[in-house]
A and B are shown apart, each in its own frame.
Chain A
Amino acid sequence: MPPTLQSLLIVFGVLAAALTVAAALIYVERRLLALWQDRYGPNRAGPFGLLQVVADMIKIFLKEDWIPPFADKPVFILAPAVIIIAVLMSFAIIPFAPNIAVVELNIGLLFFLAMSSMGVYSVVLAGWSSNSKYSLMGALRAAAQMLSYEVFMGLSLMGVVAMAGSFSLRDIVEAQRGLWFCLPQFLGFIIFLIAGFAETHRIPFDLPEAEAELVAGFHSEYSGIKFGMFFVGEYLGITLISAMIVTLFWGGWLGPWLPPAVWFFLKTFIFIAGFVLVRAAFPRPRYDQLMSFGWKIMLPLSLANLLVTGAVLLFTGK
C-alpha cells in the first residue's frame, strides 16, 4: 500500500471512528444510565433500540435551526464548530495502535493540552454571543472552571512525562511496557481523571450547563444541528479524555493476546462507562465548592505528586 493512501485511510478512519463512537455514545449513555437506574432505556427502535441513534440524528438534523434575533450571529454560528474542531484535532495525536496514529508529534501531549484549552473558547463564545443572561452565566462558570482545572490537568501529566522522558504519546505508551503508569502515578491518574471530568463539563462538574439553575447554561439559545454539535462535542470530549487516560496511565494499546487496537478500544470503553457511572451516582456541587476544591486540594496535590515523582526519579538516577 502506498504511504499516502495509508495515511489517508488512517486520517478518515480515525475521523469516522471518533464520530461514530460519539454518536453511539448517545445510545450507550442512555442505556447504561437506565441499567443503573433499574430501567431499560431506549429499546424500541430496531434490535436493542440500536436504531435510536439514527432516529436521534434524523431528529436533530431536521429540527429548525433558529438563531435568536438578539444573538451575535457570526460568533453564534462559529462557537459550536470550535469545540468539534478542537476535540477532533486532539484525536490526531492519539496512538490507537503501534502504527495507527494520524501524526507522530514529539510534543503530542502539549498539543492535546493546547487543544483542550481551545475548547474553552467555544463555550465562552457561545455564551457571550447568545446575549442571554443564562448563557452568559454558564459561559462565565465554564471559563473559570475550565481555566482553573486546566492548571493542574497539565501539572498532573508532568509526572508521566518525567517518567517516560518524552512528550510523544507513542513513547509514553512504549515506556509503560514494564509497568503501566496507573500504579506509580496513581495520584496523577486520579487528578487527571477529575480534571477530565471538569474539562468535558460532565457531572459532577457540569455547572456551566446546570439545568436546575441555568436552563441549559451556555447552549440555552441553541437549537437544531448547532445544539447537536455541542452535544456531540461533549461526547467526543468524553471519548478523547478516556482515550488519553488509557494512553497515559493504562498502557495504551499494550496487552496480551488481543490485537493492540482492540485493547485500546476495550480500555477506552471502560473509562467511557466510568464517565456514565459517575453521572448516575454523583450530585452536582455548589459552584464555590467546585472552585475551592480545584485550587485548595487538587492543585497542591498535583504539585506534591510532581515533586515526589521528580525526587524519586532523581534519587533512583533514571
Chain B
Amino acid sequence: MLSLLKGIGVILRHTFHRRETIQYPEEKPKLPPRWRGRIILSRDPDGAERCVACYLCAAVCPVDCISLQAAEDETGRRYPEFFRINFSRCIFCGLCEEACPTYAIQLTPDFEMAEYERQNLVYEKEDLLIDGLGKYPGYNFYKVAGLEIGSKKKGEAENEAPPVDVRSLLP
C-alpha cells in the first residue's frame, strides 16, 4: 500500500522532468556514424567502382534483397552489370557490408527513405553508387590485390613481391 503511494510521488515528480521526445521532423536525431541505414556503393580513390561483383553480399543477405549480375571489362576488371537492392525487403542488418571484401557496399546513417509506392523502394545501381569513398578512405582493392588487370601486371601491386619463376634454379 505504502509503495503505491510512493509510486504516485515518483510519477508526480516526473512533472518537472525533461521530456525525452525528439520532435522529429523539426529536430533531427543525432545518429551514430556506424548507424545501419540506407545502403550505398562506394568508389575507390581513382573514381572507379569498388564492387567486383563477387556475389558475397547477395549470398549472405538473409532476406535476399540484393540482386546483381557480374560482368568483366576488356582489362579483366570485374564489375556488376546491374546491382539492385529492394529496400522494401531490406532489414538493414549490415551483413552485406561485413561480407564485402572490397568495402564497396556500405550502410550509411540515413533512414529517411519513405516512399508512397513500393516500386520506388527498389534502388538500381545508379541510385546506389555514390561519388565518394564512404567510410574507408584511401582503399583501392585492385591496387593491393595480386590480380592482373589492364596495365597492372603480376607483382606490381602495393606490398607485393615480384612473382617467383618456379622453372628457374637461380636464387
Contact = CB atoms under 8 A, between A and B. Distances in A.
A179 interface: no
A313 interface: no
A281 B21 contact: no
B10 interface: yes
B8 interface: yes
Interface stretch (A32-40, A99-107, A120-128): A32-40
A281 B4 contact: yes
Interface stretch (B11-19, B82-90, B97-105, B151-159): B11-19
- Give the most central of A35, A39, A281: most B CB within 10 Å: A281
- Give the most central of A34, A38, A277, A282: most B CB within 10 Å: A38
Interface residues of A, number: 12
A25 B35 CA distance: 40
B19 A282 contact: no
A282 B12 CA distance: 12
Contacts of B12: 36, 277
Interface residues of B, number: 14
Interface string B61-104: 00000000000000000000000000000000000000000000
B23 interface: yes
Contact of A278 (B8, B10, B17): B8
A301 interface: no
B24 to A, nearest CB: 11
A39 B23 CA distance: 10
A277 B5 CA distance: 11
A280 B14 CA distance: 11
Given A281-B4, A282-B4, A40 B19 contact: yes
Contacts of A280: 11
A282 B8 CA distance: 8
Interface string A200-214: 000000000000000
B109 interface: no
Contacts of A278: 8
10 contacts: A36-B11, A36-B12, A37-B14, A38-B17, A38-B18, A38-B19, A40-B19, A40-B23, A282-B7, A282-B8
